[in-house]
Amino acid sequence: MSKEKTNPELEEKEMTPEEMDQMRNNMVEFYTAQIKVLEPQAKYEELLAQIEEFRLRQAVAIVRYATVMQGPPQSKEPQIPGEEKLTPPNGPSDEARRPPEIKGPRKLKPE
């Protein structure tokens, strides 16, 4: 690839102190003008965040109220008569998965 620059406007040049001062003044004017736009936007975003927080608090209150109104937890027995619990919460035990003729403790294969 060629190290030669094709666009002379993109070349960096030394700036004189007067040009640096002018550039700084232009930047200060630009940012000052932008602050007038950004301050109302910041207030708008802050109000939106407050509204979202209030909605979240309301939803949490509704869930808490529903939990309280539900009452104490029911017994661990099945809700539907005849329904049996097929597996314990941690999954079937190793012994429960073995066929009936192999019940008992596991043994190593004889060599």
pLDDT grade for 2, boundaries at 50, 70 and 90: low
Q: Which of the four pLDDT bands, split at 50, 70 and 90, describes residue 13? A: confident
pLDDT digits (tens, 9 = 90+) for 25-42: 999 999 999 999 999 999
Domain ranges of the chain: 40-71
**HEC secondary structure over the chain:** CCCCCCCHHHCCCCCCHHHHHHHHHHHHHHHHHHHHHHHHHHHHHHHHHHHHHHHHHHHHHHHHHHHHHHCCCCCCCCCCCCCCCCCCCCCCCHHHHCCHHHCCCCCCCCC
